[in-house]
Structure 1
Amino acid sequence: MTRLIIQIPCLNEADDLPAALAALPREIPGIDEIEVLIIDDGSDDNTSEVAARWGVHHIVRHRRNRGLAHAFQSGLDACLSAGADIIVNTDADGQYEGADIADLVQPILRNEADIVIGDRGVGKNAHFGPIKRRLQTLGSAVVRKLSGTDITDAVSGFRAISREAAQRITITTEFSYTTDMLIQAGRKRMAITSVPVRTHPTLRPSRLFRSIPRFIMQTGVTIARAYTTYNALRVFVGTGLFLAFAGLAPILRFLWFFMNGDGQGHIQSLIVGGVLMILGALVAVMGMLADLITTNRKLMETTLHKVRKLEEQLARHEKDSVALDLPSVSAEPGTVPLTPVERKAVR
């Protein structure tokens, strides 16, 4: 039995959520059960109540806004606890065509991919302005290079994830999960593909960022952090070598003048060059330490993956041995427990 859970991160989406829920497919070939999970990321409207009235199977509520990346990770954890075999992430703003979920999950059903990205065709998308098209294309090219993947729409939030892939993904950024997740998945050698999807014009400004420059800055920081996490030795040693070679130039300049009997007036070149070479050596040593930390992170991620597997086996054993209704989301600090009326039991 294959269970699909469609998760929708929400922030003050009471008005738009009904249309998004109505557009979701009720049946998909190859899928036995389709459920919906809402992550209410600290909304100050009645988003959770609207979701409950529409019969949403699982609702996760944060007491305060934690950001899209944290909401996405909370959704993954909740979907895994609810027994999802495939997880689809979409938005509540109506940008994505809900019917395309059927196409999005097919590569996973055929065991061809671990992660499937909905490609919006950013270079020619009529719903994007010219500046956004260029920025999306450029950003996707950078992420494609750094992640070692062949994805042309790196920041698309419309994506399907297999259970195994979701267990191995841990989002660490506080801004947006899209690029962090792709770089992680690429470096972990997951099978990633994309399928074309349809889009609709959004009727409201994005709640993720306030301006394009702010989005560019925060996305750049996220990409740099994610890439450095998995390529610390290359980043730090490369930077150290650059500084060392930069320091070599003024030292050679000093030596040239010194050998020609004019070294007294160029001692500053020797000082600058020496400082740069020392900095380069220090940065290279930092790279070695960072590489050890990266290795430790990989070991911790492997342990976390095994823990999630053990939790899954334990939950399955408990369900088989005791006929109890379990809450759809385990309690966590900052998450409001749901009443039995608001949630449905995990089947």
Structure 2
Amino acid sequence: MKLIIQIPCFNEQNTLLTTLNDLPRHLEGIDEIEYLIINDGSLDETTKVAWDWGVNYIVNFTQNKGLAKGFMTGIDVCLENGADIIVNTDADNQYYGEDIEKLIRPILDGKADIVIGERPIDQNEDFSFLKKKLQHLGSWAVRQASNTSIPDAPSGFRAFSREAALKLNVVNDYTYTLETIVQAGREKIPIVSVPIRVNKALRPSRLSRTMWDYVRTSMLTILRAYLIYKPLKFFQFLSLFPTIPGLLVWIRFFYLYFRYGGAGHVQSLIIGCTLIIIGAICLMIGILGDTITANRKILQDTQYHTRKMYYDGVKQAALKRHEKCMIYYR
């Protein structure tokens, strides 16, 4: 059983060493542990720190591509190098390295394919009162969109089985955390959460410029993911807003028509028709989106089998390699 711990990095020379030193070297049920750094266009000595520490793999981006791109590239490299379990953690030492054992246990026991670390948000002194409430709100929105019970959706401390990693698709450029949970819930991938601990913050979060920018982007990410997996349900709901007023206007028109005659009330008929047409258009968009979603499931299934054949093939070659450190340039 091989575990690869991946760490996306962007200018992390001051915190990366602390994070790496905190990672476990041996875990019960794991035969081999390797370490991967995704250098997302860092301008400092992040790569040198990783090299000197002795990580097994380094992915170098020539420019900053964002957290989601770094995460998915790391997943591909882990699969290519024979990982049976992949753990993603942050480079700022936010999470306890010892908790990786708790994180992978449900996968080893066959109870889940994705495990999310649940932070003690309400007890976290580094989070303001507003941020705590917004974190809870965002997690609630993800639970509604994904039909899961994950209490800490934005947590970046998570583990994936090889099977789950082969099925992952992230189309968002901002972050992978929310979209992967929605995908897991909608695709019926077994997902659970476990309580974890957090360290004192070593630096401010870089995910967004302001709290409101983070909220706005997160809500758009959730909405986009929901539209991908449940377009018919979304547009059915949206179509009610013009359709119901349109029907009420029609009822008013016919009431006045049969009671007083139709003169002077043609405007109601026109407005009602317009609103109902808009509602019908929304419904048609939902039907088209549902058809596209069905085709997407077929493409995902094809992609899964293609990736499985490819990565299972290169896995055997990866197990025979014994280089100190492999460096990838993307």
Structure 2 length-normalised TM: 0.94
Report how far residue 319 of structure 1 moved.
Answer: 6.2
Task: Output the CA distance in 1 between the equivalents of 2:86 and 2:28.
Answer: 16
Q: Which residue of 1 aligns with 2:196?
A: 197
Give the secondary structure class of the aligned counterpart of 2:26. coil
Q: Does 1:161 align with 2:164?
A: no
Q: Which residue of 1 aligns with 2:6?
A: 7
Q: Which residue of 1 aligns with 2:95?
A: 96
Q: Which residue of 2 aligns with 1:122?
A: 121
Task: Output the CA distance in 2 between the equivalents of 1:290 and 1:47.
Answer: 43
Give the secondary structure class of the aligned counterpart of 1:123. helix
Task: Output the CA distance in 1 between the equivalents of 2:327 and 2:251.
Answer: 64
Report how far residue 204 of structure 1 moved.
Answer: 2.1
* Change in CA separation of 1:295 and 1:113 when aligned onto 2, cut-off 3 Å: same
Q: Which residue of 2 aligns with 1:294?
A: 293
* Change in CA separation of 1:251 and 1:189 when aligned onto 2, cut-off 3 Å: same
- Write out per-residue CA displacement over residues 299-339 of structure 1, whole angstroms, 9 at most, x where no aligned residue: 1111111011111232245569xx667898797xxx44xxx
Aligned residues: 330
Q: Which residue of 2 aligns with 1:249?
A: 248
Task: Output the CA distance in 2 between the equivalents of 1:53 and 1:285.
Answer: 58
Mapped contact 2:242–2:278 kept (Cα < 8 A)? yes
Task: Output the CA distance in 2 between the equivalents of 1:158 and 1:223.
Answer: 19
* Change in CA separation of 1:318 and 1:152 when aligned onto 2, cut-off 3 Å: closer
Q: Which residue of 2 aligns with 1:226?
A: 225
Give the secondary structure class of the aligned counterpart of 1:37. strand
Task: Output the CA distance in 1 between the equivalents of 2:167 and 2:308.
Answer: 10
Counterpart amino acid of 1:190? I
Stretch of structure 1 that moved more, 304-313 or 66-75:
304-313
Task: Output the CA distance in 2 between the equivalents of 1:328 and 1:303.
Answer: 32
Matches within 5 A, 1:1-347: 2-261=1-260, 263-316=262-315, 335-336=329-330
Structure number with higher relative contact order (C-alpha < 8 Å, ≥ 6 residues apart): 2
Counterpart amino acid of 1:196? P
Give the secondary structure class of the aligned counterpart of 2:58. strand
Report how far residue 93 of structure 1 moved.
Answer: 1.0
* Change in CA separation of 1:201 and 1:256 when aligned onto 2, cut-off 3 Å: farther
Q: Which 4+ residue blocks in structure 1 deviate beyond 6 angstroms?
A: 323-331
% identical equivalent positions: 46
Mapped contact 1:140–1:152 kept (Cα < 8 A)? yes
Task: Output the CA distance in 1 between the equivalents of 2:74 and 2:119.
Answer: 23
* Change in CA separation of 1:329 and 1:221 when aligned onto 2, cut-off 3 Å: farther
Counterpart amino acid of 1:232? P
* Change in CA separation of 1:317 and 1:196 when aligned onto 2, cut-off 3 Å: closer
* Change in CA separation of 1:330 and 1:242 when aligned onto 2, cut-off 3 Å: farther
CA RMSD of aligned residues (A): 2.0
Unaligned stretches of 5+ residues in structure 2? none
Mapped contact 2:5–2:36 kept (Cα < 8 A)? yes
Report how far residue 62 of structure 1 moved.
Answer: 1.0
Task: Output the CA distance in 2 between the equivalents of 1:249 and 1:235.
Answer: 22
* Change in CA separation of 1:192 and 1:44 when aligned onto 2, cut-off 3 Å: same
Counterpart amino acid of 2:216? M
Give the secondary structure class of the aligned counterpart of 1:38. strand
Counterpart amino acid of 1:160? A
* Change in CA separation of 1:34 and 1:326 when aligned onto 2, cut-off 3 Å: closer
* Change in CA separation of 1:205 and 1:81 when aligned onto 2, cut-off 3 Å: same
* Change in CA separation of 1:202 and 1:262 when aligned onto 2, cut-off 3 Å: farther
Mapped contact 1:81–1:328 kept (Cα < 8 A)? no
Give the secondary structure class of the aligned counterpart of 2:27. coil
Counterpart amino acid of 1:294? T
Task: Output the CA distance in 2 between the equivalents of 1:14 and 1:107.
Answer: 33
Task: Output the CA distance in 2 between the equivalents of 1:91 and 1:283.
Answer: 41
- Write out per-residue CA displacement over residues 52-95 of structure 1, whole angstroms, 9 at most, x where no aligned residue: 11111101111111111111111111111111111111101121
Counterpart amino acid of 2:33? I
Stretch of structure 1 that moved more, 239-248 or 26-35:
239-248
* Change in CA separation of 1:38 and 1:143 when aligned onto 2, cut-off 3 Å: same
Mapped contact 1:254–1:269 kept (Cα < 8 A)? yes
Unaligned stretches of 5+ residues in structure 1? 337-347
- Write out per-residue CA displacement over residues 257-307 of structure 1, whole angstroms, 9 at most, x where no aligned residue: 333326444433322221111111111111111111111111111111101
Stretch of structure 1 that moved more, 254-263 or 230-239:
254-263
